[in-house]
Protein backbone atom coordinates (compact mmCIF):
# COMPACT_ATOMS: atom_id res chain seq x y z
CA UNK A 1 0.00 0.00 0.00
CA UNK A 2 2.77 2.50 0.85
CA UNK A 3 4.19 2.23 -2.68
CA UNK A 4 0.99 3.46 -4.31
CA UNK A 5 0.47 7.08 -5.34
CA UNK A 6 -1.48 9.44 -3.09
CA UNK A 7 -4.24 9.54 -5.72
CA UNK A 8 -4.50 5.71 -5.61
CA UNK A 9 -4.49 5.76 -1.80
CA UNK A 10 -7.27 8.37 -1.89
CA UNK A 11 -9.31 6.08 -4.19
CA UNK A 12 -8.77 3.15 -1.84
CA UNK A 13 -10.00 5.29 1.07
CA UNK A 14 -13.05 6.44 -0.88
CA UNK A 15 -13.88 2.82 -1.85
CA UNK A 16 -13.56 1.73 1.79
CA UNK A 17 -10.73 -0.70 0.93
CA UNK A 18 -8.62 0.76 3.70
CA UNK A 19 -8.87 3.39 6.43
CA UNK A 20 -6.74 6.42 7.07
CA UNK A 21 -5.75 4.93 10.44
CA UNK A 22 -4.49 1.80 8.68
CA UNK A 23 -2.69 3.85 6.01
CA UNK A 24 -1.11 6.12 8.61
CA UNK A 25 0.03 3.15 10.70
CA UNK A 26 1.60 1.57 7.59
CA UNK A 27 3.65 4.72 7.01
CA UNK A 28 4.62 4.99 10.69
CA UNK A 29 5.80 1.36 10.44
CA UNK A 30 7.89 2.19 7.38
CA UNK A 31 9.39 5.17 9.24
CA UNK A 32 10.30 2.86 12.15
CA UNK A 33 11.81 0.38 9.70
CA UNK A 34 13.95 2.67 7.54
CA UNK A 35 14.35 6.11 9.09
CA UNK A 36 17.28 4.96 11.21
CA UNK A 37 19.14 4.71 7.88
CA UNK A 38 17.60 7.66 6.00
CA UNK A 39 17.13 10.12 8.88
CA UNK A 40 14.48 12.09 7.02
CA UNK A 41 12.52 13.02 10.15
CA UNK A 42 13.51 15.28 13.04
CA UNK A 43 10.27 14.55 14.87
CA UNK A 44 7.58 11.91 14.29
CA UNK A 45 4.17 12.83 15.69
CA UNK A 46 2.63 9.34 15.76
CA UNK A 47 -0.05 10.28 18.27
CA UNK A 48 -1.16 13.43 16.45
CA UNK A 49 -1.13 11.65 13.10
CA UNK A 50 -3.25 8.72 14.28
CA UNK A 51 -5.71 11.06 16.01
CA UNK A 52 -6.17 13.05 12.79
CA UNK A 53 -6.51 9.80 10.78
CA UNK A 54 -9.23 8.46 13.09
CA UNK A 55 -11.01 11.78 12.94
CA UNK A 56 -11.07 11.67 9.13
CA UNK A 57 -12.21 8.02 9.17
CA UNK A 58 -15.15 8.96 11.40
CA UNK A 59 -16.12 11.85 9.17
CA UNK A 60 -15.99 9.55 6.16
CA UNK A 61 -18.19 6.98 7.94
CA UNK A 62 -20.76 9.63 8.75
CA UNK A 63 -20.94 10.54 5.06
CA UNK A 64 -19.31 13.96 5.32
CA UNK A 65 -17.95 15.36 2.07
CA UNK A 66 -14.17 15.23 2.22
CA UNK A 67 -11.41 16.88 0.23
CA UNK A 68 -9.50 14.69 -2.29
CA UNK A 69 -6.45 14.17 -0.03
CA UNK A 70 -8.39 13.64 3.23
CA UNK A 71 -6.75 10.88 5.27
CA UNK A 72 -3.51 10.87 3.25
CA UNK A 73 -0.27 11.02 5.29
CA UNK A 74 2.28 13.77 4.63
CA UNK A 75 5.79 14.77 5.74
CA UNK A 76 6.25 18.44 6.66
CA UNK A 77 9.50 20.36 6.35
CA UNK A 78 10.51 21.63 9.77
CA UNK A 79 10.53 25.22 8.52
CA UNK A 80 6.72 25.51 8.90
CA UNK A 81 5.23 26.28 12.29
CA UNK A 82 2.83 23.64 13.62
CA UNK A 83 1.10 24.36 16.91
CA UNK A 84 2.46 22.41 19.90
CA UNK A 85 4.77 20.30 17.69
CA UNK A 86 8.55 20.86 17.92
CA UNK A 87 9.65 23.22 15.11
CA UNK A 88 13.37 23.91 14.70
CA UNK A 89 14.12 24.91 11.08
CA UNK A 90 17.07 22.54 11.50
CA UNK A 91 18.68 24.92 14.00
CA UNK A 92 19.90 24.39 17.54
CA UNK A 93 18.73 27.91 18.32
CA UNK A 94 15.12 26.65 18.14
CA UNK A 95 15.65 23.27 19.80
CA UNK A 96 12.60 22.39 21.88
CA UNK A 97 10.46 25.28 20.64
CA UNK A 98 6.78 24.44 20.23
CA UNK A 99 5.02 27.17 18.25
CA UNK A 100 1.87 28.62 19.82
CA UNK A 101 0.23 28.87 16.38
CA UNK A 102 -0.17 27.10 13.02
CA UNK A 103 1.32 28.40 9.80
CA UNK A 104 -1.32 29.00 7.13
CA UNK A 105 -0.02 25.99 5.17
CA UNK A 106 -0.53 23.76 8.22
CA UNK A 107 -4.02 25.19 8.80
CA UNK A 108 -4.90 24.34 5.21
CA UNK A 109 -3.50 20.80 5.54
CA UNK A 110 -5.53 20.23 8.69
CA UNK A 111 -8.71 21.59 7.09
CA UNK A 112 -8.20 19.26 4.13
CA UNK A 113 -7.94 16.30 6.52
CA UNK A 114 -4.33 15.57 5.60
CA UNK A 115 -2.41 13.58 8.22
CA UNK A 116 0.89 15.20 9.25
CA UNK A 117 3.28 12.37 10.14
CA UNK A 118 6.07 14.62 11.41
CA UNK A 119 8.68 17.26 10.74
CA UNK A 120 11.50 16.63 8.27
CA UNK A 121 15.18 17.46 8.36
CA UNK A 122 16.62 20.40 6.44
CA UNK A 123 19.67 22.58 6.10
CA UNK A 124 19.60 25.04 8.99
CA UNK A 125 17.11 27.83 8.14
CA UNK A 126 17.01 26.36 4.59
CA UNK A 127 20.57 27.54 3.91
CA UNK A 128 22.21 24.79 1.94
CA UNK A 129 21.88 22.30 -0.88
CA UNK A 130 22.63 18.98 0.81
CA UNK A 131 20.87 18.86 4.22
CA UNK A 132 24.37 18.55 5.73
CA UNK A 133 24.00 21.98 7.34
CA UNK A 134 21.27 20.71 9.68
CA UNK A 135 22.06 21.22 13.35
CA UNK A 136 20.82 17.65 13.88
CA UNK A 137 23.00 15.73 11.39
CA UNK A 138 22.49 14.96 7.69
CA UNK A 139 19.76 13.07 5.85
CA UNK A 140 20.87 10.20 3.63
CA UNK A 141 19.75 9.59 0.04
CA UNK A 142 17.64 6.40 -0.22
CA UNK A 143 19.26 5.70 -3.63
CA UNK A 144 22.70 5.48 -2.00
CA UNK A 145 23.05 6.06 1.72
CA UNK A 146 26.58 7.43 1.26
CA UNK A 147 25.14 10.36 -0.72
CA UNK A 148 23.15 13.48 0.12
CA UNK A 149 19.49 13.77 -0.91
CA UNK A 150 20.12 17.41 -1.88
CA UNK A 151 18.65 20.28 0.05
CA UNK A 152 17.59 22.26 1.73
CA UNK A 153 14.33 20.20 1.77
CA UNK A 154 16.33 16.94 1.77
CA UNK A 155 14.33 15.34 4.58
CA UNK A 156 11.02 15.79 2.78
CA UNK A 157 12.42 14.50 -0.52
CA UNK A 158 14.06 11.48 1.13
CA UNK A 159 10.85 10.67 3.04
CA UNK A 160 8.85 10.51 -0.21
CA UNK A 161 11.46 8.50 -2.13
CA UNK A 162 11.86 6.05 0.77
CA UNK A 163 8.06 5.50 0.90
CA UNK A 164 7.86 6.99 4.40
CA UNK A 165 5.21 9.40 3.06
CA UNK A 166 3.45 9.63 -0.31
CA UNK A 167 3.59 13.44 -0.35
CA UNK A 168 5.57 16.12 1.45
CA UNK A 169 6.02 19.85 1.77
CA UNK A 170 9.26 21.72 1.25
CA UNK A 171 10.33 25.30 0.71
CA UNK A 172 12.33 26.68 -2.20
CA UNK A 173 14.43 29.85 -1.89
CA UNK A 174 17.08 29.00 -4.50
CA UNK A 175 16.06 25.50 -5.59
CA UNK A 176 15.46 23.78 -2.25
CA UNK A 177 12.43 21.81 -3.53
CA UNK A 178 13.46 21.17 -7.15
CA UNK A 179 17.08 20.12 -6.52
CA UNK A 180 16.33 17.48 -3.82
CA UNK A 181 13.42 16.22 -5.96
CA UNK A 182 15.92 15.75 -8.82
CA UNK A 183 18.49 14.00 -6.62
CA UNK A 184 15.97 11.54 -5.15
CA UNK A 185 13.95 10.71 -8.28
CA UNK A 186 10.65 12.39 -7.35
CA UNK A 187 8.53 15.38 -8.43
CA UNK A 188 8.84 18.77 -6.71
CA UNK A 189 7.25 22.11 -7.50
CA UNK A 190 8.14 25.61 -6.46
CA UNK A 191 4.89 27.54 -7.01
CA UNK A 192 4.81 31.16 -8.19
CA UNK A 193 6.06 33.59 -5.53
CA UNK A 194 3.00 34.73 -3.55
CA UNK A 195 0.87 31.72 -4.53
CA UNK A 196 1.36 29.96 -1.18
CA UNK A 197 1.14 31.94 2.06
CA UNK A 198 4.41 32.53 3.90
CA UNK A 199 2.62 33.09 7.22
CA UNK A 200 4.37 30.76 9.67
CA UNK A 201 7.12 29.82 7.20
CA UNK A 202 10.30 30.65 9.12
CA UNK A 203 11.92 33.31 6.95
CA UNK A 204 15.30 32.94 5.26
CA UNK A 205 15.08 35.35 2.32
CA UNK A 206 11.62 36.86 2.23
CA UNK A 207 11.60 38.00 -1.41
CA UNK A 208 12.63 34.50 -2.59
CA UNK A 209 11.05 31.99 -0.13
CA UNK A 210 8.11 29.90 -1.27
CA UNK A 211 6.68 26.64 0.10
CA UNK A 212 5.62 23.92 -2.32
CA UNK A 213 4.69 20.25 -2.80
CA UNK A 214 6.60 16.99 -3.35
CA UNK A 215 5.08 13.77 -4.71
CA UNK A 216 6.04 10.62 -6.55
CA UNK A 217 3.78 11.59 -9.45
CA UNK A 218 2.88 14.84 -11.17
CA UNK A 219 -0.80 14.37 -10.24
CA UNK A 220 -0.05 13.85 -6.52
CA UNK A 221 2.05 17.00 -6.55
CA UNK A 222 -0.80 18.93 -8.18
CA UNK A 223 -3.34 17.65 -5.65
CA UNK A 224 -1.17 18.95 -2.80
CA UNK A 225 -0.42 22.21 -4.64
CA UNK A 226 -4.16 22.89 -4.83
CA UNK A 227 -4.54 22.38 -1.06
CA UNK A 228 -1.61 24.66 -0.15
CA UNK A 229 -2.16 27.58 -2.50
CA UNK A 230 -4.53 30.53 -2.24
CA UNK A 231 -4.75 34.07 -0.99
CA UNK A 232 -4.03 34.76 2.69
CA UNK A 233 -4.65 38.15 4.29
CA UNK A 234 -1.96 37.27 6.87
CA UNK A 235 0.75 37.51 4.17
CA UNK A 236 1.03 40.93 2.52
CA UNK A 237 2.81 39.38 -0.49
CA UNK A 238 0.12 36.76 -1.06
CA UNK A 239 -1.46 37.03 -4.53
CA UNK A 240 -5.20 37.67 -4.48
CA UNK A 241 -6.20 35.59 -7.49
CA UNK A 242 -7.71 32.15 -8.10
CA UNK A 243 -5.35 29.15 -7.83
CA UNK A 244 -4.35 28.00 -11.34
CA UNK A 245 -6.13 24.77 -12.44
CA UNK A 246 -3.14 22.55 -11.66
CA UNK A 247 -5.03 19.30 -11.01
CA UNK A 248 -6.96 19.57 -14.25
CA UNK A 249 -3.68 20.25 -16.10
CA UNK A 250 -2.00 17.24 -14.45
CA UNK A 251 -4.90 15.04 -15.58
CA UNK A 252 -4.89 16.28 -19.17
CA UNK A 253 -1.08 16.27 -19.73
CA UNK A 254 -0.71 17.41 -23.31
CA UNK A 255 2.12 19.20 -25.11
CA UNK A 256 0.81 19.07 -28.67
CA UNK A 257 1.57 22.48 -30.22
CA UNK A 258 3.25 23.69 -27.03
CA UNK A 259 6.40 25.73 -27.56
CA UNK A 260 9.20 24.55 -25.28
CA UNK A 261 12.24 26.81 -24.91
CA UNK A 262 15.63 25.34 -24.07
CA UNK A 263 17.72 27.90 -22.17
CA UNK A 264 21.09 28.09 -23.90
CA UNK A 265 22.90 29.17 -20.72
CA UNK A 266 21.62 26.25 -18.59
CA UNK A 267 23.22 23.24 -20.29
CA UNK A 268 26.47 21.97 -21.76
CA UNK A 269 29.67 22.88 -19.97
CA UNK A 270 29.57 22.17 -16.23
CA UNK A 271 26.73 19.65 -16.57
CA UNK A 272 27.50 15.98 -15.92
CA UNK A 273 27.39 13.88 -19.10
CA UNK A 274 24.62 11.58 -17.89
CA UNK A 275 22.53 14.58 -16.81
CA UNK A 276 22.84 16.17 -20.24
CA UNK A 277 22.05 12.85 -22.00
CA UNK A 278 18.82 12.28 -20.05
CA UNK A 279 17.84 15.93 -20.56
CA UNK A 280 18.35 15.70 -24.35
CA UNK A 281 16.41 12.42 -24.43
CA UNK A 282 13.45 14.02 -22.61
CA UNK A 283 13.48 16.83 -25.16
CA UNK A 284 13.20 14.26 -27.95
CA UNK A 285 10.29 12.63 -26.14
CA UNK A 286 8.52 15.99 -25.87
CA UNK A 287 9.15 16.67 -29.57
CA UNK A 288 7.74 13.24 -30.45
CA UNK A 289 4.58 14.18 -28.50
CA UNK A 290 4.06 17.18 -30.75
CA UNK A 291 5.86 19.96 -28.87
CA UNK A 292 7.91 22.48 -30.77
CA UNK A 293 11.42 22.82 -29.32
CA UNK A 294 13.11 26.21 -29.64
CA UNK A 295 16.31 27.63 -28.15
CA UNK A 296 16.14 30.80 -26.07
CA UNK A 297 18.91 33.11 -24.94
CA UNK A 298 19.06 34.39 -21.34
CA UNK A 299 22.46 36.12 -21.18
CA UNK A 300 22.02 37.57 -17.67
CA UNK A 301 21.61 34.10 -16.14
CA UNK A 302 25.40 33.91 -16.06
CA UNK A 303 25.28 36.37 -13.16
CA UNK A 304 22.27 34.87 -11.34
CA UNK A 305 24.32 32.85 -8.87
CA UNK A 306 26.38 35.90 -7.87
CA UNK A 307 23.23 38.02 -7.46
CA UNK A 308 21.52 35.31 -5.42
CA UNK A 309 24.46 34.91 -3.03
CA UNK A 310 24.24 38.64 -2.27
CA UNK A 311 20.46 39.06 -2.10
CA UNK A 312 19.70 35.97 -0.01
CA UNK A 313 22.46 36.55 2.61
CA UNK A 314 21.49 40.24 2.82
CA UNK A 315 17.86 39.39 3.52
CA UNK A 316 18.86 36.60 5.93
CA UNK A 317 21.15 38.89 7.93
CA UNK A 318 18.08 41.04 8.57
CA UNK A 319 15.54 38.21 9.04
CA UNK A 320 17.65 36.24 11.49
CA UNK A 321 18.08 39.28 13.75
CA UNK A 322 14.87 38.06 15.40
CA UNK A 323 16.81 35.27 17.10
CA UNK A 324 17.84 37.48 20.00
CA UNK A 325 17.46 35.06 22.95
CA UNK A 326 14.71 37.19 24.49
CA UNK A 327 11.27 35.87 23.49
CA UNK A 328 11.68 32.25 22.39
CA UNK A 329 14.39 29.76 21.55
CA UNK A 330 17.82 29.26 23.06
CA UNK A 331 19.38 31.58 25.66
CA UNK A 332 22.95 31.09 26.86
CA UNK A 333 25.38 33.22 28.86
CA UNK A 334 22.63 34.74 31.03
CA UNK A 335 24.85 34.87 34.08
CA UNK A 336 24.59 37.48 36.76
CA UNK A 337 25.29 40.92 35.34
CA UNK A 338 25.63 39.91 31.67
CA UNK A 339 24.13 42.51 29.35
CA UNK A 340 21.33 41.70 26.88
CA UNK A 341 23.77 42.29 24.06
CA UNK A 342 26.34 39.86 25.49
CA UNK A 343 23.63 37.22 26.00
CA UNK A 344 22.39 37.73 22.45
CA UNK A 345 25.90 37.39 20.99
CA UNK A 346 26.74 34.30 23.03
CA UNK A 347 23.41 32.68 22.15
CA UNK A 348 23.79 33.33 18.43
CA UNK A 349 27.29 31.86 18.47
CA UNK A 350 26.09 28.74 20.28
CA UNK A 351 22.82 28.36 18.34
CA UNK A 352 23.78 29.06 14.72
CA UNK A 353 25.83 26.67 12.56
CA UNK A 354 28.74 27.49 10.27
CA UNK A 355 26.79 28.15 7.06
CA UNK A 356 24.23 30.36 8.80
CA UNK A 357 27.00 32.45 10.35
CA UNK A 358 28.78 32.62 6.99
CA UNK A 359 25.66 33.98 5.28
CA UNK A 360 24.78 36.43 8.06
CA UNK A 361 28.33 37.86 7.93
CA UNK A 362 28.29 38.01 4.12
CA UNK A 363 24.91 39.79 4.20
CA UNK A 364 26.08 42.19 6.89
CA UNK A 365 29.08 43.02 4.69
CA UNK A 366 27.00 43.44 1.49
CA UNK A 367 24.61 45.82 3.26
CA UNK A 368 27.25 47.88 5.05
CA UNK A 369 27.69 51.49 4.06
CA UNK A 370 30.35 51.96 1.41
CA UNK A 371 29.69 48.48 -0.07
CA UNK A 372 25.89 48.58 -0.42
CA UNK A 373 25.73 49.95 -3.98
CA UNK A 374 28.56 47.78 -5.29
CA UNK A 375 27.15 44.53 -3.92
CA UNK A 376 23.47 44.51 -2.89
CA UNK A 377 22.56 47.37 -5.24
CA UNK A 378 24.20 45.70 -8.26
CA UNK A 379 22.60 42.36 -7.39
CA UNK A 380 19.15 43.96 -7.40
CA UNK A 381 19.81 45.35 -10.87
CA UNK A 382 20.96 41.93 -12.12
CA UNK A 383 17.63 40.71 -10.80
CA UNK A 384 15.86 43.16 -13.11
CA UNK A 385 17.89 41.87 -16.09
CA UNK A 386 16.97 38.26 -15.25
CA UNK A 387 13.29 39.18 -15.10
CA UNK A 388 13.67 40.84 -18.52
CA UNK A 389 15.43 37.76 -19.96
CA UNK A 390 12.54 35.58 -18.81
CA UNK A 391 9.93 38.03 -20.14
CA UNK A 392 11.54 37.92 -23.57
CA UNK A 393 11.98 34.14 -23.50
CA UNK A 394 8.30 33.66 -22.63
CA UNK A 395 7.33 35.54 -25.79
CA UNK A 396 9.13 32.78 -27.71
CA UNK A 397 7.99 29.76 -25.68
CA UNK A 398 5.13 28.64 -23.40
CA UNK A 399 7.47 26.92 -20.95
CA UNK A 400 11.24 26.90 -20.54
CA UNK A 401 13.32 23.86 -19.66
CA UNK A 402 16.76 22.85 -18.36
CA UNK A 403 18.36 20.13 -16.29
CA UNK A 404 17.37 20.77 -12.64
CA UNK A 405 20.87 20.29 -11.20
CA UNK A 406 24.23 20.07 -12.97
CA UNK A 407 25.09 16.73 -11.34
CA UNK A 408 23.44 13.72 -9.71
CA UNK A 409 23.60 13.24 -5.92
CA UNK A 410 27.09 13.68 -4.50
CA UNK A 411 28.77 12.02 -1.52
CA UNK A 412 28.11 13.25 2.01
CA UNK A 413 31.06 15.42 3.02
CA UNK A 414 32.29 15.92 -0.55
CA UNK A 415 31.54 19.65 -0.74
CA UNK A 416 30.98 20.57 2.88
CA UNK A 417 34.29 22.45 3.20
CA UNK A 418 34.01 24.19 -0.17
CA UNK A 419 31.07 26.60 -0.02
CA UNK A 420 31.50 27.81 -3.62
CA UNK A 421 31.34 24.25 -5.04
CA UNK A 422 28.15 23.70 -3.06
CA UNK A 423 26.64 26.99 -4.29
CA UNK A 424 27.30 26.02 -7.94
CA UNK A 425 24.76 23.20 -7.62
CA UNK A 426 22.00 25.84 -7.57
CA UNK A 427 23.00 27.43 -10.89
CA UNK A 428 19.96 26.20 -12.84
CA UNK A 429 17.32 26.68 -10.15
CA UNK A 430 18.15 30.16 -8.83
CA UNK A 431 16.88 32.27 -11.78
CA UNK A 432 13.28 31.13 -11.09
CA UNK A 433 13.49 32.46 -7.52
CA UNK A 434 15.00 35.79 -8.52
CA UNK A 435 12.17 36.33 -11.03
CA UNK A 436 9.41 35.04 -8.70
CA UNK A 437 8.08 32.59 -11.29
CA UNK A 438 7.26 28.87 -10.91
CA UNK A 439 9.26 25.72 -11.63
CA UNK A 440 8.97 21.94 -11.46
CA UNK A 441 11.51 19.13 -11.36
CA UNK A 442 10.48 15.65 -12.46
CA UNK A 443 12.52 12.46 -13.00
CA UNK A 444 14.16 12.13 -16.43
CA UNK A 445 15.77 8.74 -15.78
CA UNK A 446 19.09 7.58 -14.37
CA UNK A 447 22.52 8.87 -15.40
CA UNK A 448 24.36 6.06 -17.19
CA UNK A 449 27.64 6.59 -15.31
CA UNK A 450 26.29 6.28 -11.75
CA UNK A 451 22.68 4.98 -12.00
CA UNK A 452 21.40 7.94 -9.98
CA UNK A 453 18.29 10.02 -10.77
CA UNK A 454 18.39 13.06 -13.05
CA UNK A 455 15.86 15.90 -12.82
CA UNK A 456 14.20 17.70 -15.73
CA UNK A 457 13.21 21.28 -14.89
CA UNK A 458 10.19 23.06 -16.38
CA UNK A 459 9.61 26.78 -15.80
CA UNK A 460 6.49 28.89 -16.48
CA UNK A 461 5.51 32.55 -16.01
CA UNK A 462 4.04 33.82 -12.73
CA UNK A 463 0.59 32.36 -11.99
CA UNK A 464 0.80 30.02 -15.00
CA UNK A 465 1.67 27.08 -12.74
CA UNK A 466 -0.78 24.86 -14.64
CA UNK A 467 1.62 24.85 -17.61
CA UNK A 468 4.22 23.02 -15.46
CA UNK A 469 1.72 20.26 -14.75
CA UNK A 470 0.43 20.09 -18.31
CA UNK A 471 3.92 19.58 -19.75
CA UNK A 472 5.17 17.54 -16.77
CA UNK A 473 2.29 15.05 -16.91
CA UNK A 474 2.81 14.51 -20.65
CA UNK A 475 6.53 13.84 -20.22
CA UNK A 476 5.94 11.65 -17.17
CA UNK A 477 3.44 9.44 -19.03
CA UNK A 478 5.69 9.07 -22.09
CA UNK A 479 8.76 8.22 -19.99
CA UNK A 480 6.78 5.75 -17.88
CA UNK A 481 5.66 3.82 -20.96
CA UNK A 482 9.25 3.86 -22.21
CA UNK A 483 10.69 2.59 -18.89
CA UNK A 484 7.84 0.16 -18.16
CA UNK A 485 7.95 0.97 -14.41
CA UNK A 486 8.26 4.07 -12.21
CA UNK A 487 11.82 5.24 -11.62
CA UNK A 488 11.66 4.50 -7.87
CA UNK A 489 11.20 0.79 -8.64
CA UNK A 490 14.86 0.88 -9.74
CA UNK A 491 16.08 2.21 -6.37
CA UNK A 492 17.74 -0.28 -4.03
CA UNK A 493 15.35 -1.63 -1.38
CA UNK A 494 16.38 -0.34 2.06
CA UNK A 495 17.09 -2.92 4.75
CA UNK A 496 13.87 -3.74 6.64
CA UNK A 497 11.70 -1.78 4.18
CA UNK A 498 8.04 -2.80 4.05
Partner 1 sequence: MSSLSRDDVAKLAGLARIEMTEAELVELASQFGMILDAVARVQEVDLTGVKATSHPQPMENIARPDVVAPSLSPEDALSGAPAQEESRFRVPQILGEAE
Handedness of CA 317, 308, 420, 120 (dihedral sign): positive
Cβ atoms within 10 Å of 302's Cβ, excluding its own: 11
Which letter does DSSP use for residue 135 in this model?
A: T
Residue 108 host element (H or E): helix 104-111
Nearest 5°: the CA angle 170, 266, 440 is 30
Nearest 5°: the CA angle 166, 414, 307 is 80
Handedness of CA 20, 21, 25, 26 (dihedral sign): negative
128 binds partner 1 (CB under 8 A): no
Q: Which of 147, 348, 415, 467 binds partner 1 (CB under 8 A)?
A: 348
Q: Give the span between the Cα atoms of 442 and 62, in whole angstroms.
A: 38
Q: Give the span between the Cα atoms of 489 and 498, in whole angstroms.
A: 14
Stretch that binds partner 1, among 52-60, 91-99, 246-254, 442-450 (CB under 8 A): 91-99
342 binds partner 1 (CB under 8 A): yes
Question: What is the nearest approach in angstroms of partner 1 to the Cβ of residue 365?
Answer: 6
368 binds partner 1 (CB under 8 A): yes
303 binds partner 1 (CB under 8 A): yes
Where does residue 97 rank: exposed (0-12), middle (13-18), buried (19+ CB within 10 A)? middle
**Residue pair 438/178 in contact by the 8 Å Cβ criterion:** no
Q: Which of 25, 37, 55, 207 binds partner 1 (CB under 8 A)?
A: 207
353 binds partner 1 (CB under 8 A): no
43 binds partner 1 (CB under 8 A): no
Question: What is the nearest approach in angstroms of partner 1 to the Cβ of residue 378?
Answer: 4
331 binds partner 1 (CB under 8 A): yes
- Helix axes 465-483 and 273-288, enclosed angle (nearest 10): 100
Query: How many residues are listed for the chain in this entry?
Result: 498
**Residue pair 119/43 in contact by the 8 Å Cβ criterion:** yes
Stretch that binds partner 1, among 29-37, 97-105, 158-166, 250-258 (CB under 8 A): 97-105
**Residue pair 286/293 in contact by the 8 Å Cβ criterion:** yes
Stretch that binds partner 1, among 139-147, 165-173, 265-273, 318-326 (CB under 8 A): 318-326
Which residues from 155-194 bind partner 1, rule CB under 8 A? Answer: 193-194
457 prior amide bond cis, ω within 30: no
Stretch that binds partner 1, among 64-72, 110-118, 351-359, 393-401 (CB under 8 A): 351-359
Stretch that binds partner 1, among 11-19, 104-112, 144-152, 370-378 (CB under 8 A): 370-378
Question: What is the nearest approach in angstroms of partner 1 to the Cβ of residue 362?
Answer: 6
Nearest 5°: the CA angle 30, 36, 39 is 95
Binding mask 238-277 for partner 1 (x = CB under 8 A): -x--------------------------------------
Q: Which of 300, 457, 464, 470 binds partner 1 (CB under 8 A)?
A: 300
Which residues from 436-465 bind partner 1, rule CB under 8 A? Answer: 436-437, 462
Q: Is 295 helix (H, G, I), strand (E, B) or coil?
A: strand
93 binds partner 1 (CB under 8 A): no
Pick 420 or 485: Cβ nearer partner 1 = 420
Total chain residues near partner 1 (CB under 8 A): 73
Q: Give the span between the Cα atoms of 288 and 282, in whole angstroms.
A: 10
375 binds partner 1 (CB under 8 A): yes
Q: Give the span between the Cα atoms of 359 and 172, in whole angstroms.
A: 17
Stretch that binds partner 1, among 115-123, 148-156, 270-278, 382-390 (CB under 8 A): 382-390
Q: Is 441 helix (H, G, I), strand (E, B) or coil?
A: strand
370 binds partner 1 (CB under 8 A): no
154 binds partner 1 (CB under 8 A): no
Pick 187 or 211: Cβ nearer partner 1 = 211
End-to-end CA distance of the chain: 9
Catalytic residues: 77, 152, 176
Pick 31 or 126: Cβ nearer partner 1 = 126
377 binds partner 1 (CB under 8 A): yes
106 binds partner 1 (CB under 8 A): no
Q: Which of 100, 257, 370, 484 binds partner 1 (CB under 8 A)?
A: 100
Q: Give the span between the Cα atoms of 158 and 168, in whole angstroms.
A: 10
Q: Which of 18, 364, 451, 497 binds partner 1 (CB under 8 A)?
A: 364
Which residues from 464-483 bind partner 1, rule CB under 8 A? Answer: none
Closest CA to 38 of 157, 198, 194, 200: 157
Amino acid sequence: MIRKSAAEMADALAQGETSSAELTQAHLDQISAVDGQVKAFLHVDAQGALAQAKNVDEKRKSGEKLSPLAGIPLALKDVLAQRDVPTTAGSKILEGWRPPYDSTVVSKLKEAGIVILGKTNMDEFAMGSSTENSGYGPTFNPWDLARTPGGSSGGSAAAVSAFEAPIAIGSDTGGSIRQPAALTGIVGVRPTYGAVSRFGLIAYSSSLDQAGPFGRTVLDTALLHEVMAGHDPKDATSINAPVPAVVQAAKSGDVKGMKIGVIKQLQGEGYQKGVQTRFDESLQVLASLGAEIVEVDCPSFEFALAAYYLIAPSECSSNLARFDAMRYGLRTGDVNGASAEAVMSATRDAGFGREVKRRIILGTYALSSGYYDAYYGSAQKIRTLIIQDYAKAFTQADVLVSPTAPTTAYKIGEKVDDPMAMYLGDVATIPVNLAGICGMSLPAGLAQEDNLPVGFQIMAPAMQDQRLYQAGAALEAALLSKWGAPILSKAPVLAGSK
